[in-house]
């Protein structure tokens, strides 16, 4: 079987370009609905949203790692110049690694417990047939040193259980550094780590962008992480992107009531003296509603929210800021949280 | 590692001691006078008395136990009631036949079971998986003596390709190997099905691990994931079950031994129990237990050697 022909994308063409992409499980259970998302070269884009909002399905669709029951459709879904919608399983597998790779939430289980780290990192470099084992080894040692792992040569023979979670997440970033994918997807990369480790990992991810020119798509429900590292943010709710803009726009002037509610629930932003942490009442509805999905939980809903689907409109005074809400123009003056 | 092996060996010796104690207690609890069984109902009281003295049965129970333990410590398993030959010699005579049958059965069963299990995983959810599943389950479901009888009928009686009975003349390796084919087929067939199901389940579990997702996210091929990663994890997971299986084969496959008239530990144990040949029962059961326990120790050492987490902890 032939590897897919990759046309070199034009300079500055988006690394990831999704237009009206939907994913459903089976025929009737949509998980992602009509998503528009672009990630440009060297850009770090964040996706926030509750559990069940479709973030992970979105990430896995980019990697072609959706379960076999999943059905994908859309107008445009390009990853590093390749058309994901037209690619078969073999073509998708060929894209994983060079075009897109992923860092997962729990570094402790992201590596095989019974194979040495050197063995596993070498296996990730399986495409480089031309290189000798010694050459690969030297590259791996260099990458491990670059992400700040002490004694990188000795670590080649180490097993995952001998390293801390933070160290293992560094190894995962070293793997991304070795592979230099066009797009790195990071699914809650710091959730399993303690706070000091979190800052270091975020710093490493930023340097991954600076040194290797990798674009990054971060999935998180941790607003601090998003504010810290992202250029742009998309807020997902019930399979749709409901608000999108620069970090500044979203954090200084959140327009969608759902985004506002997310900020109101962020423990770090809750004013002192509040005895009971706020929550968003209700739960994420099944995606695929034809009207506003958030209306049932919305504090500022109007009659038309229950009558017609909200349009995707420009909003606020920031240059890059869109929102999917009927009342977004009215609800701009809520006290907004400062990016932490 | 050496300390680990020594600790396991100490536990093994304790287990064997317990087995000896239980056997001793059982012999004294079961009804029936061993002298009557040994000498027949027409024996005179004098003959029985002499026999009792010879076997040490006239002494106090604790003395008998002490004597037994001292003898066992010296590696002396006593004399066979009928032939007056040393039990150890008799057991060592049949042991090679049993070990050969167990090895032959298990090697082919393990090889084919692993292949079938892997193929089933590669075709997971497709017709190949279903077919292997159905075949495996039927292998497990058919009793080994049925397989033994039919294979005897087909290959030895009708086709006359292979010898029907016996284990081959001593010294004639070719004949001995030919005599091994049908019994090992009959004994191993069930294990093929069992191991293939075991491997399939363990590999499917391994394929669901997070690290497999990492490998896939970097485009590592399914073949490499299955054979280099999942298979190793699966083998580690089923190692102890495999060891128990092999241990139970070493204790003798009594049906195959009877059907093919092969000498073996299983048949010897059975005959000894039926004829109340207590020293021989004691000897065969102790040797059997020792083999079993050795298998378990080997499995532990092997899994410690394969699993870095265990290796570093000991």
Same-domain check for residues A178 and A294: no
Alpha-carbon distance of B294 to A24, in angstroms, equals 55
pTM above 0.90, yes or no: no
Q: Out of A76-85, A249-258, B36-45, B114-123, pick the least confident.
A: B36-45
Nearest CA in chain A to B303: A114
pLDDT per residue as tens digits for the range A298-317: 877 777 777 777 878 888 77
Q: Out of A185-199, B101-115, B143-157, pick the least confident.
A: B143-157
CA distance to partner chain B, nearest, from residue A100 (Å)? 8
% of residues, chain B, pLDDT over 90: 11
Identify which of B217, B229, B236 has the shortest CB distance to residue A101: B217
pLDDT confidence of residue A333: 42
Across B59-73, average pLDDT = 80
Give me A65's structure tokens.
Answer: 């790692």
pLDDT confidence of residue A335: 40
pLDDT confidence of residue B45: 81
CA distance to partner chain B, nearest, from residue A93 (Å)? 5
Q: Which residues contact B219 (CB under 8 A, 6 or more apart)?
A: A93, A94, A95, A96, A97, A98, A127
Identify which of B213, B229, B312 has the shortest CB distance to residue A115: B229
pLDDT confidence of residue A6: 54
List residues of chain B with CB under 8 Å from any CB of chain A.
209-211, 213-221, 224, 228-229, 232-233, 236, 306-309, 312
Alpha-carbon distance of A151 to B54, in angstroms, equals 72
Tell how far CA B33 is from the center of its chain. 32
Do residues B259 and B149 lie in contact, with contact meaning Cβ atoms separated by under 8 Å?
yes
Tell how far CA A306 is from the center of its chain. 31
Banded model confidence at residue A334, pLDDT cuts 50, 70, 90? very low
pLDDT confidence of residue B147: 80
Banded model confidence at residue A338, pLDDT cuts 50, 70, 90? very low
Alpha-carbon distance of A59 to A37, in angstroms, equals 11
A94/B214 Cβ within 8 A:
no
Same-domain check for residues A128 and A24: yes
Domain containing residue A83: 16-230
B229/A101 Cβ within 8 A:
no
A114/B309 Cβ within 8 A:
yes
Identify the burial level of B267 via C-beta atoms within 10 angstroms of its C-beta, where 0-12 means exposed, 13-18 middle and 19 or more buried. buried
Q: How many CA atoms lie within 13 A of A225 on its CB side?
A: 27
Alpha-carbon distance of A32 to A240, in angstroms, equals 6
Mean pLDDT, all residues of chain B: 83
pLDDT at B74 over 50: yes
Q: Which residue has the higher pLDDT, A141 or B65?
A: A141
A276 phi, psi to nearest 5 deg = -130, 125
Same-domain check for residues A169 and A74: yes
pLDDT confidence of residue B37: 67
Alpha-carbon distance of A132 to A194, in angstroms, equals 38
pLDDT confidence of residue A4: 55
Identify the burial level of B95 via C-beta atoms within 10 angstroms of its C-beta, where 0-12 means exposed, 13-18 middle and 19 or more buried. buried
pLDDT confidence of residue B265: 86
CA distance to partner chain A, nearest, from residue B97 (Å)? 38
Identify which of B217, B224, B229 has the shortest CB distance to residue A96: B217
Same-domain check for residues A181 and A242: no
Choose from A112, A185, A214 for mutation: most chain B CBs within 10 A. Answer: A112
Across B147-168, average pLDDT = 76
Banded model confidence at residue B34, pLDDT cuts 50, 70, 90? low
Identify which of B211, B228, B232 has the shortest CB distance to residue A110: B211
pLDDT confidence of residue B114: 92
pLDDT per residue as tens digits for the range A103-130: 888 888 889 998 999 999 998 888 887 8
Of A230, A248, A264, which closes a domain?
A230
Q: List own/partner pairs for B133-137 with CB under 8 A and 24 or more apart.
A: B133/B197, B133/B200, B135/B193, B136/B192, B136/B193, B136/B194, B136/B196, B136/B197, B137/B193, B137/B197
**In this structure, which topology does domain B87-313 adopt according to CATH?**
MetI-like fold (1.10.3720)
Q: How many CA atoms lie within 13 A of B21 on its CB side?
A: 7
Same-domain check for residues A152 and A292: no
Q: Out of A1-15, A206-220, B114-128, B272-286, pick the least confident.
A: A1-15
Taking contacts as CB-CB distances below 8 angstroms, the residues of chain A near B312 are 159, 161-162
Number of domains into which chain A is organized: 2
Residues in chain A: 340
Q: Which residues contact B297 (CB under 8 A, 6 or more apart)?
A: B5, B8, B9, B12
Across B82-95, average pLDDT = 85
Identify which of B209, B220, B306 has the shortest CB distance to residue A126: B220
Alpha-carbon distance of B25 to B229, in angstroms, equals 49
Please give the C-alpha separations between residue A27 and each of A20, A36, A53, A73, A286, in angstroms, as whole numbers: 18, 21, 18, 12, 14
Exposed e or buried b per residue across A177-208, where buried means at least 16 C-beta atoms within 10 angstroms of its C-beta:
bbbebbbbbbbbbbebbeeebbebbbebbeeb
Mean pLDDT, all residues of chain A: 83
List residues of chain A with CB under 8 Å from any CB of chain B.
63, 65, 93-98, 101-102, 104, 106, 109-116, 120, 123-124, 126-127, 159, 161-162, 172, 175, 179
B218/A124 Cβ within 8 A:
yes
Same-domain check for residues A116 and A248: no
Same-domain check for residues A29 and A114: yes
Q: Which residues contact B41 (CB under 8 A, 6 or more apart)?
A: none
Choose from A89, A99, A109, A114 for mutation: most chain B CBs within 10 A. Answer: A114
Taking contacts as CB-CB distances below 8 angstroms, the residues of chain B near A162 are 312
Across B87-104, average pLDDT = 88
Banded model confidence at residue B199, pLDDT cuts 50, 70, 90? very high
**A2 domain-assigned:** no
Same-domain check for residues A148 and A189: yes
H or E segment to which residue A33 belongs:
strand A29-39
B209/A115 Cβ within 8 A:
no
Q: How big is the A-B interface in CB pairs under 8 Å?
A: 77
Please give the C-alpha separations between residue A11 and each of A81, A82, A210, A216, in angstroms, as whole numbers: 11, 15, 17, 17
- B275: three-class secondary structure by DSSP: coil
CA distance to partner chain B, nearest, from residue A164 (Å)? 14
Across A202-209, average pLDDT = 88
CA distance to partner chain A, nearest, from residue B108 (Å)? 27
pLDDT confidence of residue A300: 77
pLDDT confidence of residue B32: 67
Q: Which residue has the higher pLDDT, A137 or B75?
A: A137
pLDDT per residue as tens digits for the range B282-303: 888 888 888 888 888 888 888 8
Across A21-32, average pLDDT = 84
CA distance to partner chain A, nearest, from residue B136 (Å)? 26
pLDDT confidence of residue A339: 36
pLDDT per residue as tens digits for the range B210-268: 899 889 888 888 888 988 899 989 988 888 888 888 888 887 678 888 888 888 888 88
pLDDT confidence of residue A17: 92
Alpha-carbon distance of B120 to A168, in angstroms, equals 33
**A4 domain-assigned:** no
pLDDT at A162 over 50: yes
CATH of the domain at A21: 3.40.50.300
**A91 domain-assigned:** yes
Same-domain check for residues A41 and A153: yes
A65/B216 Cβ within 8 A:
yes
Same-domain check for residues A170 and A298: no
ipTM score: 0.80
Of A210, A230, A250, which closes a domain?
A230
Q: Out of A80-84, A168-172, B26-30, B234-238, pick the least confident.
A: B26-30
pLDDT per residue as tens digits for the range A248-303: 888 888 888 888 888 888 777 777 777 777 788 777 777 777 778 887 788 777 77
Do residues A102 and B223 lie in contact, with contact meaning Cβ atoms separated by under 8 Å?
no
**A330 domain-assigned:** no
Torsion over CA: B98, B99, B100, B104 (sign)? positive
pLDDT at B23 over 70: yes
Choose from B217, B231, B313 for mutation: most chain A CBs within 10 A. Answer: B217
pLDDT at A218 over 90: yes
Taking contacts as CB-CB distances below 8 angstroms, the residues of chain A near B216 are 63, 65, 96
Taking contacts as CB-CB distances below 8 angstroms, the residues of chain B near A109 are 209-211
Same-domain check for residues A249 and A169: no
CA distance to partner chain A, nearest, from residue B120 (Å)? 18
**A338 domain-assigned:** no
pLDDT at B196 over 90: yes
Same-domain check for residues A158 and A20: yes
Of A230, A261, A281, which closes a domain?
A230
Identify which of B213, B217, B308 has the shortest CB distance to residue A114: B308
Q: Where are the alpha helices (DSSP H) in A85-217?
A: 89-95, 117-124, 133-146, 152-155, 165-179, 195-212
């Amino acid at each position: 079987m032939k590897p897919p022909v990759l046309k070199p994308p034009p300079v500055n063409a988006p690394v990831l370009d999704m237009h009206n992409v939907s994913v459903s499980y089976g025929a009737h259970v949509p998980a992602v609905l009509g998503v528009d998302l672009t990630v440009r070269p060297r850009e770090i884009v964040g996706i926030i949203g509750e559990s069940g909002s479709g973030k992970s399905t979105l990430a896995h669709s980019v990697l072609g790692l959706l379960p076999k029951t999943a059905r994908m459709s859309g107008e445009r879904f390009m990853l590093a110049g390749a058309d994901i919608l037209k690619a078969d399983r073999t073509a998708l597998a060929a894209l994983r690694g060079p075009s897109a790779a992923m860092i997962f939430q729990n570094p402790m289980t992201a590596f095989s417990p019974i194979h040495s780290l050197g063995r596993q990192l070498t296996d990730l470099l399986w495409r480089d047939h031309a290189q000798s084992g010694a050459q690969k080894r030297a590259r791996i040692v260099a990458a491990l040193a670059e992400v700040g792992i002490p004694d990188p040569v000795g670590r080649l023979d180490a097993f995952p259980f001998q390293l801390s979670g933070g160290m293992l997440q560094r190894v995962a970033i070293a793997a991304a550094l070795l592979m230099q994918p066009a797009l790195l997807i990071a699914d809650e990369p710091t959730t399993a780590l303690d706070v000091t480790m979190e800052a270091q990992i975020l710093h490493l991810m930023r340097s991954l962008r600076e040194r290797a020119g990798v674009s990054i798509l971060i999935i998180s429900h941790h607003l601090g992480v998003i504010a810290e590292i992202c250029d742009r943010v998309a807020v997902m709710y019930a399979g749709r992107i409901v608000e999108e803009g620069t970090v500044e726009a979203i954090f200084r002037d959140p327009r969608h009531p759902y985004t506002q509610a997310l900020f109101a629930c962020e423990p770090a932003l809750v004013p002192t003296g509040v005895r009971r942490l706020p929550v968003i009442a209700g739960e994420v509805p099944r995606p695929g509603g034809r009207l506003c999905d958030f209306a049932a939980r919305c504090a500022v809903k109007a009659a038309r929210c229950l009558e017609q689907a909200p349009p995707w409109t420009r909003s606020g005074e920031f240059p890059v800021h869109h929102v999917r809400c009927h009342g977004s123009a009215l609800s701009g003056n809520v006290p907004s949280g400062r990016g932490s | 590692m050496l300390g680990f092996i020594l600790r396991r060996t100490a536990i093994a010796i304790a287990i064997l001691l317990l087995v000896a104690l239980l056997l001793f207690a059982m012999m004294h609890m079961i009804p029936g006078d061993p002298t009557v069984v040994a000498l027949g109902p027409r024996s005179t009281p004098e003959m029985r008395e002499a026999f009792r003295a010879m076997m040490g049965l006239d002494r106090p129970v604790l003395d008998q136990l002490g004597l037994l333990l001292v003898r066992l410590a010296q590696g002396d398993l006593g004399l066979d009631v009928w032939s007056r030959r040393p039990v150890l010699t008799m057991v060592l005579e049949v042991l090679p036949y049993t070990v050969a049958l167990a090895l032959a059965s298990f090697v082919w069963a393990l090889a084919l079971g692993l292949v079938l299990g892997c193929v089933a995983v590669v075709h997971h959810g497709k017709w190949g998986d279903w077919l292997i599943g159905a075949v495996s389950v039927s292998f497990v479901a058919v009793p080994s003596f049925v397989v033994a009888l039919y294979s005897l009928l087909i290959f030895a009686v009708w086709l006359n390709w292979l010898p029907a009975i016996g284990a081959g003349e001593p010294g004639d390796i070719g004949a001995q190997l030919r005599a091994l084919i049908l019994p090992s087929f009959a004994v191993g067939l069930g294990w093929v099905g069992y191991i293939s199901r075991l491997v399939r389940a363990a590999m499917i579990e391994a394929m669901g691990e997070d690290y497999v997702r990492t490998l896939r996210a970097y485009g590592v091929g399914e073949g490499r994931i299955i054979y280099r990663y999942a298979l190793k994890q699966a083998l580690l997971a089923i190692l102890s079950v495999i060891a128990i299986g092999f241990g139970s084969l070493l204790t003798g496959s009594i049906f195959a031994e009877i059907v093919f008239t092969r000498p073996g530990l299983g048949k010897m144990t059975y005959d000894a129990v039926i004829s109340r040949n207590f020293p021989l029962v004691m000897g065969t059961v102790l040797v059997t237990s020792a083999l079993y326990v050795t298998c378990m120790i080997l499995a532990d050492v092997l899994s410690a050697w394969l699993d870095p987490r265990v290796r570093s902890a000991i």
